[in-house]
Amino acid sequence: MAYRHTLRGTVYHFPTLRELLAVATPLRSGDQLAGIAAPTNTARVAAQLALADVPLRRFLTETVIPYEVDDITRLIIDTHDNAAFAPIAHLTVGGFRDWLLATNEDLRTLRSGLTPEMVAAVSKIMRLQDLMSVAARCQVTSAFRNTIGLPGRLSVRLQPNHPTDDLQGIAASTLDGLLLGAGDAVIGVNPATDSPTQTHRLLDMLATVIERYEIPTQSCILAHVTTTLRCIEAGAPVDLVFQSIGGTQATNESFGITLALLAEAQDAALSLNRGTIGRNVMYFETGQGSALSANAHHGVDQQTIEARAYAVARAFPPLLVNSVVGFIGPEYLANGKQITRAGLEDHFCAKLLGLPMGVDVCYTNHADADQDDMDALLTLLGVAGCTYIMGVPGADDVMLSYQSTSFHDALYLRAALRLRPAPEFEAWLDRMNLTGRMSDHLPPNLAPDVIGLT
Amino acid sequence: MTVPRVWTDLRRFTPARVGLGRVGNAQPTAAHLAFAADHAAARDAVWKELDAKALEQALAQPVTVVASAAPNRETYLLRPDLGRTLAPGTQLSPAIGCLAIMIADGLSATAAQNHAAPLIAALALPAQVVIATQARVALGDQVGFALQAEAVLVLIGERPGLSSSDSLGAYLTWRPRPGLTDAARNCVSNIRPNGLPIPEAARKLRWLIAESRRLRLTGVELKDNESAYDKSISVD
């Protein structure tokens, strides 16, 4: 159905909910590239006013991508829980914003009653402080060998990438991160070469590091899900299955995945039974713009599609999910301002939908952003209760050629906001005597030669 | 401040910024400013304009200079579609069946400025050379199509990283025409003195060009049976 709003004497028409959502989206280059962004600032606010009046129920009958052509739309509609939706079923999008900001109710019971499009819609009429204060009230925990997402905790993915997957190089970056308190979310390597042989070698190496140093954490090689499946068949020590996911069926096809393939991989990882305290075995990455990049966006704005990717993620209760927010480049998120807003939107939407959401606070050298922008987003995410961030040596990923957050950045954030690592990992840091300042001696248990650094 | 030796020792194993030490929770001044210098160099490389005249002089043969439909650097960065399209009214005279070489600024004019002419000299193959500004890889499809070229080799500045702001990428496309995707190309990346040196890059490219002529194709079906290339960063 059509939507309209009159603002200052001009009548604005929006033929569909899909177009209304796109025009209501705060400015970003990807929607401009797609030709679906608001033509003027006033048109954008007119769309936001019209969107605020849309009943949440409408999202259950008017889909942004037809049910018949897209398996994510089918997943969203078929798994919607009307009982969970009941407390907010009478609200409009604007009323939902007010309700979220005023309520003291436990937001967990809402999750299965919310669709990604409802959550994306309300985020479009929220300021950054709204996105942060509501997200901070969403508690999402997950577990494998430690507990991720408890209140007052901030975890770090240790990301020890190396340009040629050199085992000693990866081990050296891993030890560097451990000495600076990183690694409780996961020790996760992006392989330079996505092959079963290479991935198996890296899995063996990280399993050895975790075993010899007796670290209560998990490893992951961020290879394609089919590569990880082959490694599981070959007997490799796979803790977590990684996959990049998107919010449309066609995006996922461009990634070479289906929902059935993800289910098969989850079953395979669960069959290994390698978790000690929990059974969350999936790790997903997302990011605004991937659907447009794959020409698979159906005219839907990039933030709404990003939220739809979270419907995929929550179908396979993951240990970790993060948006790689600034990685995609300036044609999707042009500058620090756009990256900042997108990072907080992604975190908010995922948390409200019940995901253990972290953010790769990052940028590329052709985006108009720098370390100051990253410090600001990092700090805002800390206030918002972000589950984890990345830890890269010196913030410089020498394999992927982009800048993320450093081990030092994580130390800063934990100290500034009095956040602590995951409890099991914190106890390990205490045992290793790593909670204080760096001394001239490494703990004997963490000698480099124990992990092959000689 | 002094960083413990056991820690700085980790630098032996990786080019990553390990063993930086710490001041409170922060990086020491030297590490912080070294990072700033690398980022500044990368940013400057992205925004630098290609000096087509100087490049023309460095080449030992006549060249044609064209521009994409992106009118300036800012538009180029935000509108990749315009960087893949020739500026309206561009004229190129056909050279039927030729090898076309398109030198493109891409995301690092520095790379194209410094490494393209020596690489073309090392290739030592007859070719029609075109210099293209504000250009993406796929602009080569339009250039090659207009020239009615047998194949197009695009030499393009890659997205600068902190450790290198002058990497050149080379993309070979058989029977170039509008509408192709990256699956139709073969790529040699990280061409620079401290990466893949020019003589080695020229050898790989001569092999790829010869194979594409033999098989009359490029892309995934033209397997690289030489040693694995470095993972490329797509710049299209």
Residue A101's CB is within 10 A of a number of other CB atoms, namely: 13
| pLDDT the model gives residue A314 | 98
By the 8 A CB rule, do B59 and B115 touch? no
**Residue pLDDT, tens place only, A319-343:** 999 999 999 999 999 999 999 999 9
Average pLDDT over residues A362-390: 98
pLDDT value at residue B224: 57
B75 and A CB contact within 8 Å: no
Domain assignment present for residue B20? The answer is no
Question: Residue B138 burial (CB < 10 Å; 0-12/13-18/19+)?
Answer: buried
For residue A413, is pLDDT > 90?
A: yes
Of the candidates A166, A242, A155, which has an alpha carbon nearest to the alpha carbon of residue A205?
Answer: A166
Mutual angle of helices A336-352 and A302-314, in 10-degree steps: 40
Which residues in chain B are closer than 8 Å to A421, comparing Cβ atoms? none
Place of tokens 């300021």: A127
Q: Is residue A42 helix, strand or coil?
A: helix
Amino acid type, A378 = L
> What angle do the packed helices A259-272 and A225-233 form, to 10 degrees?
30
The CA distance from A271 to A268, in Å, is 5
Placement of tokens 């993915």 in the chain: A157
Residue B226 dihedral angles phi and psi, to the nearest 5°: -80, 180
B228 vs A68, more confident: A68
Instruction: Kindly determine whether residue A401 and residue B35, on different chains, have CB atoms separated by under 8 Å.
Output: no
What are the respective helix, strand and coil percentages of chain B, to the nearest 5? 40, 20, 45
Please name every residue paired with A92 in a beta bridge, in sequence order, or none if there are none.
Answer: A55
- Measure the CA–CA gap between A335 and A367, rounded to whole angstroms: 6
**What pLDDT shows up at residue A440?**
64
Q: Which of B21, B31, B77 is opposite residue A366, by nearest beta carbon?
A: B77
Q: Is B73 on the interface with A (CB under 8 A)?
A: no
Please choose, from the candidates B68, B64, B170, the residue with its C-alpha nearest in 3D space to the C-alpha of residue B118: B170
**What is the pLDDT at residue A366?**
96
B35:A393 CB<8 A = no
| pLDDT tens-digit map of A8-52 | 999 999 999 999 999 999 999 999 999 999 999 999 999 999 999
User: How many C-beta atoms lie closer than 10 Å to residue A192's C-beta?
Assistant: 18
Give me the number of domains chain B comprises.
1
The Cα–Cα gap between A84 and A92 comes to 16
Mutate to test the interface with B, among A366, A374, A406, A451 (most CBs of B within 10 A): A366
Determine, yes or no, domain membership for B168. Answer: yes
- Angle at the Cα of A232 from the Cα atoms of A204 and A449, rounded to 5 degrees: 5
Report the pLDDT value the prediction gives residue B220, as an integer from 0 to 100.
Answer: 77
Q: Is residue B152 part of a domain?
A: yes
B28 touches chain A (CB under 8 A): no
Half-sphere exposure of A453 (CA within 13 A, CB side): 25
Model pLDDT for residues A139-178, shown as the tens digit of each residue: 999 999 999 999 999 999 999 999 999 999 999 999 999 9
In this prediction, residue A439 has a pLDDT band, given cuts at 50, 70 and 90, of low
Q: Which of residues 151-180 of B touch A (CB under 8 A)?
A: 159-163, 165
CA B140 to chain centre: 12
Spatial strand order of the sheet with A357-359 comes to A241-244, A282-286, A320-323, A357-359
The whole domain housing B72 covers: 52-228
Nearest one of A405, A397, A329 to A368, comparing CA atoms = A329
| pLDDT greater than 90 at residue A448 | yes
Binary contact (A173, B107; C-beta < 8 A): no
pTM for the structure as a whole: 0.94
Cα separation, A311 vs A254, in Å, equals 18
Q: Token match 């604007």: residue? A: A94
**Separation between Cα atoms, residue A127 and residue A287, nearest integer Å:** 20
- The Cβ of residue A176 has, within 10 Å, a number of other Cβ atoms equal to 26
* B6 in a structural domain: no
Does residue B133 lie within any of the structural domains? Answer: yes
The pLDDT of residue A1: 79
Across B5-144, the runs of DSSP E, i.e. the strands, are 63-67, 99-104, 128-133
Contact with chain B for residue A390, Cβ under 8 A: no
Which residues of chain A are within 8 Å of residue B106 when distances are taken between CB atoms? Answer: none
Give backbone dihedrals phi and psi of A108, rounded to 5 degrees, phi first: -65, -35
User: What residues in chain B have per-residue pLDDT under 70?
Assistant: 1, 223-236
Q: Which of residues 171-230 of B touch A (CB under 8 A)?
A: 228, 230
Q: How many CB pairs under 8 A join A and B?
A: 144
Q: Return the percentage of chain A with pLDDT > 70, whole number.
A: 99
Which residue, among B1, B2, B7, B13, would best test binding to A if mutated, counting the most A CBs under 10 Å from its CB? B13
Chain A positions in Cβ-Cβ contact with residue B31 (cut-off 8 Å): 394
Question: Which one of B33, B44, B162 would you mutate to disrupt binding with A, by most A Cβ within 10 Å of its Cβ?
Answer: B162
pLDDT on residue A438: 62
Q: Determine, yes or no, domain membership for B179.
A: yes
DSSP symbol at A152:
T
Four-CA torsion A360, A365, A370, A376, nearest 10 degrees: -20
Average pLDDT value for residue range A121-143: 98
Dihedral Cα A440, A443, A448, A454, nearest 10 deg: 70
CA distance A393 to B17: 5
The C-alpha angle with vertex B205 and arms to A328 and A223, in degrees rounded to 5, equals 35
Cα torsion A79, A83, A85, A91 to 10°: value is 140
Question: Contact A370/B27, CB-based, under 8 Å?
Answer: no
- Per-residue burial over A292-328, b = 16 or more CB atoms within 10 Å of its CB, e = otherwise: bbbebbbebbbbbbbbbbbbbbbbbbbbbbbbbbbbb
pLDDT band at A188 (very low <50, low <70, confident <90, very high): very high
pLDDT in tens, A99-117: 999 999 899 999 999 999 9
Domain contains B19: no
Calculate the CA dihedral of residues A226, A228, A229, A234 and round it to 10 degrees. 130
Q: Is residue B143 part of a domain?
A: yes
Q: One-letter amino acid identity for A193?
A: T
Report pLDDT for A381: 98
CATH number, position B167: 3.40.50.11240
Residues A358-367 have a mean pLDDT of 97
